A and B are shown apart, each in its own frame.
Chain A
Amino acid sequence: MSGSGVAAVKRVFTDLHFCLNVKDAAAALRMVNKAATLGYGLVAVPFATEARVDEVAGLRAVCGEAGVDFASRVDLRPRTQNELMRQVRRLRRKFEVVCVSCENKAVARQAAKDRRVDLLSFPLLDFRRRFFDRAEAELASNSLAALEVDMKPLLVLEGPARVRLLSSLRREVAVARKFGVPVVVSSGVSKELLLRKPREMAALAFLFGLDEVSGLDAVSQSAKAIVERNRAKLRSGFVAPGVRVVKEGRDC
């Protein structure tokens, strides 16, 4: 209990882009153990759109073994708005996190206003196709989408490419914060040595304008809220936000 009488809530650190090789269980277990050692309590693993149920269940078991909560994620790369709508309709109820890689402006705008989309991601190296501007942020602020920032390019890039990336990220994060769009910082790595502690991720987020608290929120609360919201929606009793079936039958 803190001095103000409010119980301090422990952060559950979350990595929403934890890349694992689904076919190599041993390597996956090593990575998940490493994530647990570094302090992560929840990881979301991206799957192909045609992922089998047993693949997802297998990785869920691996994460359970390491004591890390698991969420399934799908990355959509539609070329048109219609394709995006089709894919979201088909896959939304199969995965806990839906991320849209926005390859063009039309898709970016549609993804930002679609309440079924959780994360907006933009091409890392093609700076002309990073469409997260004020209009995009305004649309996203009225829906539930968050801006995803992967840390992998910040670690592997060097020189002018990293400078340009940092500059773009700083601008986008400032716009997102102005419009109240959540920022989610995730790793996007598939190698153990590129994994960083949550606090180190927050330290890296300092490079593009997130202060310590916002940086920690980006690897905990903002990310976890997405998973919790979707888990609630995927439960059988869910009717609408705030409405769920408590009891069914004649004696109600």
Chain B
Amino acid sequence: MKRVKRRYLALQLDSDGVPSRKEFLDAIWGAVTKLYGEHGASLTSLALIDYDLERKTAVLRTSLATLNLVRASLASITSVAGSEAAVHVMAVSGTIKALHKKAR
């Protein structure tokens, strides 16, 4: 079976409020589902690896095949947990180690 290639995205949340991990993940899933539907969302293999509440940064994992789809969905997020927000992609990498180097 062919190995599924993954990509890790370093995210920066730009928002007045401080959403919880669940609220942040809900916003991402909501954006993906809104744009691509449940079938499209199921192909992304999204997982929130890390979420720093204080610095409002996160690490998200997705499959390489759906990277563009996820990037578009993240760019379409305008609110998280009811308050206006934007999610910016700071770096994309194939490993978490390289991601931290890039995002620094």
User: Taking chain A's interface residues, is the majority helix, strand, or loop, or is none over half, making it mixed?
Assistant: helix
CB distance from A158 to the nearest CB of B (A): 7
Residue of A nearest to B70 (CB): A203
Contact (A199, B68) CB under 8 Å given A155-B78, A158-B34: no
B74 at the interface (CB under 8 A from A): yes
Q: Is the CB of A206 within 8 A of B84?
A: no
Q: Is the CB of A201 within 8 A of B75?
A: yes
B15 partner residues in chain A, CB cutoff 8 A: 193
A55 at the interface (CB under 8 A from B): no
In A185-200, which residues have CB < 8 Å from any B CB? Answer: 191, 193-197, 199-200
A19 at the interface (CB under 8 A from B): no
B86 at the interface (CB under 8 A from A): yes
Q: Is the CB of A196 within 8 A of B86?
A: yes
Q: Is the CB of A193 within 8 A of B89?
A: no
A156 to B79 alpha-carbon distance, docked (Å):
10
24 contacts between A and B (CB under 8 A): A38-B88, A155-B76, A155-B78, A158-B34, A193-B15, A193-B78, A193-B86, A194-B78, A196-B75, A196-B86, A196-B88, A197-B89, A199-B71, A199-B89, A200-B71, A200-B75, A201-B75, A203-B68, A203-B72, A204-B75, A206-B68, A206-B71, A207-B72, A212-B68
Q: Is the CB of A204 within 8 A of B76?
A: yes
A194 to B34 alpha-carbon distance, docked (Å):
18
B76 partner residues in chain A, CB cutoff 8 A: 154-155, 204
A187 to B85 alpha-carbon distance, docked (Å):
16
Q: Produce 1/0 per residue, A189-233, CB < 8 A to B.
A: 001011111011101101100001000000000000000000000
Residue of A nearest to B78 (CB): A155
CB distance from A198 to the nearest CB of B (A): 11
Q: Produce 1/0 per residue, A156-196, CB < 8 A to B.
A: 10100000000000000000000000000000000101111
Residues of A that sit less than 8 Å from B by CB: 38, 154-156, 158, 191, 193-197, 199-201, 203-204, 206-207, 212
A195 to B78 alpha-carbon distance, docked (Å):
10
Q: Is the CB of B68 within 8 A of A200?
A: no
Q: Produce 1/0 per residue, B1-42, CB < 8 A to A.
A: 000000000000011000000000000000000110000000
A211 to B88 alpha-carbon distance, docked (Å):
20
Q: Is the CB of B72 within 8 A of A204?
A: yes
Q: Is the CB of A195 within 8 A of B71?
A: no
Q: Is the CB of A193 within 8 A of B35?
A: no
Please tell me which one of the listed residues A191, A193, A200, A201 contacts residue B74 in the complex, with CB atoms under 8 A apart: A200
B89 partner residues in chain A, CB cutoff 8 A: 197, 199-200
Please tell me which one of the listed residues A158, A197, A206 contacts residue B88 in the complex, with CB atoms under 8 A apart: A197
CB distance from B88 to the nearest CB of A (A): 6
Residue of B nearest to A203 (CB): B71
Q: Is the CB of B78 within 8 A of A156?
A: yes
- Among all A-B residue pairs, the 10 with the closest Cβ atoms: A203-B71, A200-B75, A203-B72, A193-B84, A204-B75, A193-B86, A203-B75, A206-B68, A206-B72, A207-B72
